[in-house]
């Protein structure tokens, strides 16, 4: 998977859309790979690849990080060309809102009036001119060639004219022109985030006791590609040995299990193929380690990962539990995601993976588990740097529906927890309505529980980490270099 998302596996558009999009993308990748080269003559392979990724994202509801790697392999695009295609695709998707505002002025018309394939070509050109170190003449000429190859000679003339207007001004000059209105509107355009996301992140900062003027830093951090981080699963591989095998790697900033890669494809990392090592954000590692660090009077009962897909946290919890002689049960409502969990825990013996609805587990197995992880489905606003297109897919209307699911899952988890046991409620979103509000609503109906200090639990793993006042713990990309993971710990009496 890339980095683990922490959005669970329950029925929602996110998972279904990704799966359907990935399947369609694979079929289209196979078709386009078989086109004769002369049919695409004049267009640069890296730019063509980036264009095809943008088209798949728009047409198939696919995710770029699922479309691009197989496309590069099929077309044998490697090295600098692969790096160029990656930056073109991901950077253009990430900064789409900014470029659309600029292109509307340069084209003298709303971007909605442009044909979608033509608009994608223009976005790619704008990113080369304003977001990359590509000479203007090369950016314009190569993008015009792409337009001629993919959208026709007539539209290519428009691309030439519009991109020349874009190239006539610097990025800052363009932002001074188009980033107007109140603070939210200006930041929305300048940092390429929907306005509702900007407001939600500001509210989350304030709730975490952080100054509101950190908002710009949060938004800018979302536009910096995340560094690939590995987890050396305890008891299966020694982190120091892994570091010794990866000369360009470094230890993680916070956890004793994390390894940061300098770059490149992690597929060749030793241990990745057999499941002793996995790709996992350090924030994701922190919340799992924190759950395992909380004292529990009777820890002989099994542990439960309630929304386990795709399995990164399950793998780490399974490794920790194995060291203590405890079993783990992982439930996942969607069969294809349950298969991903099984693949993730293939190196572990005592992890049972079930296809089941987490909302029913508390009623079916009351009081069975000593530790329960609820990695709840969420908007994913904490992982925008990983999924560049997701900020444009989510809507404010998604939050209430997800909130109902989050409440049901947390309530089920508490019912499934043995007296004295602990529940970790985790989201890969700092949105207050998905974190503190959900916890407050559920705990109001469960008088037999108490909130523990999640900040103390994380500091038991990472003593030097700077966090808010607690009891909730919120990670931030601009502070911790992790996804914006939220953690609340609850003990059942």
Place of tokens 């916070």: 254
- Catalytic-role residue among 428, 433, 438, 442: 428
Is 453 labelled as part of a ligand binding site? no
Q: How far apart are CA 140 and CA 148, in angstroms?
A: 12
User: Do 221 and 190 contact (CB within 8 A), yes or no?
Assistant: no
Is 378 labelled as part of a ligand binding site? no
Other C-beta atoms lying within 10 Å of the C-beta of residue 3:
25
Q: Which residues of 413-433 are buried (b: 16+ CB within 10 A; e: fewer)?
A: bbbbbbeebbbbbbbbbbbbb
Q: Which two tokens stand for residue 242?
A: 């892994």
User: Do 199 and 430 contact (CB within 8 A), yes or no?
Assistant: no
Write out the DSSP string of 136-203.
HHHHHHHHHHHHHHHT-HHHHHHHHHHHHHHHTS-HHHHHHHH--SSHHHHHHHHHT--HHHHHHHHH
Of the candidates 81, 121, 342, the one whose C-alpha atom is nearest the C-alpha of residue 73 is 81
Is 8 labelled as part of a ligand binding site? no
Q: How far apart are CA 181 and CA 327, in angstroms?
A: 56
Is 375 labelled as part of a ligand binding site? yes
428 as an active site residue: the answer is yes
For residue 173, CA distances in Å to 166, 189, 221 come to 10, 13, 22
Is 310 labelled as part of a ligand binding site? yes
Is 307 labelled as part of a ligand binding site? yes
Which residues 6+ apart lie within 8 Å of 223 measured at CB?
Answer: 94, 95, 191, 192, 385
Is 308 labelled as part of a ligand binding site? yes
Of the candidates 157, 156, 149, 102, the one whose C-alpha atom is nearest the C-alpha of residue 130 is 102
Backbone φ and ψ of 120, nearest 5°? -65, -40
User: Do 60 and 26 contact (CB within 8 A), yes or no?
Assistant: no
Beta strand 258-260 pairing with 250-251: antiparallel
Please give the helix or strand (H or E) that residue 454 lies within, else none: helix 454-461
Helix ranges, 61-152 (H)? 64-75, 79-94, 96-107, 116-131, 136-150
Burial of 263 (0-12, 13-18, 19+ CB in 10 A): exposed
Binding site feature residues for S-adenosyl-L-methionine: 307-313, 332, 357, 375
Binding site feature residues: 307-313, 332, 357, 375
Active site residues: 428
């Amino acid at each position: 998977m890339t980095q683990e998302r922490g959005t669970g596996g329950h029925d929602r558009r996110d998972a279904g859309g990704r799966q359907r999009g990935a399947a369609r993308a694979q079929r289209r990748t196979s078709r386009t790979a078989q086109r004769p080269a002369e049919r695409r003559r004049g267009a640069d392979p890296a730019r063509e690849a980036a264009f095809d990724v943008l088209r798949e994202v728009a047409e198939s509801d696919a995710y770029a990080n699922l479309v691009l790697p197989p496309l590069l392999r099929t077309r044998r695009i490697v090295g600098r060309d692969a790096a160029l295609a990656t930056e073109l695709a991901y950077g253009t998707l990430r900064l789409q809102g900014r470029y659309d505002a600029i292109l509307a002025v340069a084209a003298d018309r709303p971007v909605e009036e442009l044909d979608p394939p033509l608009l994608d070509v223009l976005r790619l050109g704008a990113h080369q001119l304003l977001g990359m170190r590509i000479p203007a003449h090369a950016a314009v000429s190569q993008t015009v060639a792409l337009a001629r190859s993919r959208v026709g000679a007539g539209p290519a003339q428009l691309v030439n004219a519009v991109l020349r207007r874009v190239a006539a001004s610097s990025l800052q000059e363009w932002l001074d022109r188009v980033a107007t209105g109140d603070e939210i509107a200006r930041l929305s355009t300048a940092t390429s985030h929907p306005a509702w996301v900007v407001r939600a992140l500001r509210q989350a900062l304030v709730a975490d006791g952080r100054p509101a003027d950190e908002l710009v830093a949060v938004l800018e951090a979302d536009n910096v590609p995340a560094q690939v981080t590995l987890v050396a699963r305890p008891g299966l591989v020694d982190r120091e040995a892994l570091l010794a095998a990866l000369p360009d790697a470094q230890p993680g900033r916070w956890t004793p299990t994390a390894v940061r890669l300098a770059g490149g494809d992690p597929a060749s990392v030793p241990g990745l193929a057999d499941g002793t090592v996995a790709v996992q954000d350090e924030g994701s590692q922190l919340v799992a380690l924190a759950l395992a660090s909380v004292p529990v009077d009777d820890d002989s009962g099994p542990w439960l990962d309630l929304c386990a897909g795709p399995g990164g946290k399950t793998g780490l919890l399974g490794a920790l539990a194995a060291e203590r002689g405890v079993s783990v049960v992982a439930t996942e409502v969607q069969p294809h995601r349950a298969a991903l969990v099984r693949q993730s825990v293939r190196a572990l013996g005592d992890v049972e993976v079930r296809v089941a609805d987490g909302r029913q587990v508390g009623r079916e197995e009351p009081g069975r588990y000593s530790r329960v992880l609820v990695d709840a489905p969420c908007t994913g606003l904490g992982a925008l740097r990983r999924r560049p297109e997701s900020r444009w897919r989510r809507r404010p209307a998604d939050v209430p529906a997800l909130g109902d699911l989050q409440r049901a899952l947390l309530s089920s988890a508490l019912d499934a927890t043995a007296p004295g046991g602990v529940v970790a409620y985790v989201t890969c979103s700092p949105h207050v309505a998905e974190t503190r509000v959900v916890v407050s609503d559920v705990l109001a109906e469960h008088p037999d529980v108490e909130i523990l200090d999640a900040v103390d639990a994380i500091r038991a793993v990472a003593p030097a980490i700077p966090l808010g006042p607690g009891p909730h713990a919120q990670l931030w990309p601009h502070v911790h270099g992790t996804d914006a993971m939220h953690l609340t710990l609850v003990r059942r009496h």
